[in-house]
Amino acid sequence: MPANSTEIFRILTVAPNLIQIEVMDADQFKQDANDFTIGSYLKISDDSNTSIIALVQSFKIKETSSGGTADSTNPSFILDAQPIGFLDDDGKFKRGGQQIAIPPNNVSIADDTILKGIYESVDEDKKFCFANLAQKPSVEIAVDGDKFFSKHIAVVGSTGSGKSGTVARILQEGINPTADQTERGVLNNTHILLFDLHGEYKTAFPKSKKLDVNSLVLPYWLMNSEELEEMFIESNV
């Protein structure tokens, strides 16, 4: 973005959960931010260099009169952005709220350095990556592997949204050897038990050991009385 962002942006509203920003020069904005979409990130600063990071959630078109004629209009855009965190004195991203001088005087699109500070700020020996940022594929989404796998994980979404693919990717990255293991010639000793009731993951794990109803043998002593009764009486075995 140009050095003087006040020529493009004007802050209209500042609230704990919403910041409204008017894009006054739409042509210049499109020229400088051709990959800007819903879900992009903005850096909003004040005179004391306090900066908050906001996520763009929606936009609307604002029609303003130009030249005093009814037919001549100069459209501008209003961005609705939600604050998600701030940059501390060392430039590191912190989640949560932060006080900012009113009115803040500078708005810019968050660069790769800020995005990597948000999503890749995990110790290297604990970093676990299985996805990239949709708005910027060069930025990896990293989590603390110890914390991630020591808790229950739920993958939710509507039909066709990619839940099975996400689960497969998480497990594939979990069993892949790390760079350090590959360098030392050490195997990844991860053990995963997957109940694939619909047969979705067979092709995703071609080297895995597979058990189905035809190859699975259970001893009778493993069953309780109700299960034995159901098998021998109701199945007419």
In the predicted model, what is the mean pLDDT of residues 75-102? 80
In the predicted model, what is the mean pLDDT of residues 120-130? 83
Question: Would you state the torsion angle of the CA atoms of residues 147, 148, 154, 160, taken in this order, to the nearest 10 degrees?
Answer: 160
Its pTM surpasses 0.85: no
How far apart CA 82 and CA 12 sit, in angstroms, is 14
In the predicted model, what is the mean pLDDT of residues 178-198? 83
pLDDT of residue 16 exceeding 50 = yes
Lowest mean pLDDT among 11-15, 24-28, 169-173, 181-185: 24-28
- DSSP E strands, 33-68: 41-45, 51-66
| Buried residues in 175-210 as b, exposed as e (16+ CB within 10 A) | eeeeeeeeeeeeeeeeeeeeeeeeeebeebbeeeee
Looking at residue 96, what is its pLDDT? 78
Q: Which of the given ranges, 29-43, 88-102, 115-129, 155-169, has the highest pLDDT on average? A: 155-169
pLDDT band (50, 70, 90) for residue 3:
very low
Cα 87 to Cα 30, 51, 65, 82, 167: the distances in Å are 26, 6, 38, 15, 32
pLDDT band (50, 70, 90) for residue 156:
very high
pLDDT of residue 44 exceeding 60 = yes
Looking at residue 168, what is its pLDDT? 92
Token duo for residue 193: 């038990």
pLDDT of residue 129 exceeding 70 = yes
> Of the candidates 108, 94, 103, which has an alpha carbon nearest to the alpha carbon of residue 14?
103
pLDDT of residue 2 exceeding 60 = no
How far apart CA 47 and CA 50 sit, in angstroms, is 7
pLDDT band (50, 70, 90) for residue 167:
very high
Class of domain 1-110: mainly beta
Where along the chain do its domains lie? 1-110
In the predicted model, what is the mean pLDDT of residues 47-75? 70
Average pLDDT, the chain: 80
Answer with the residue of higher pLDDT: 105 or 10.
10
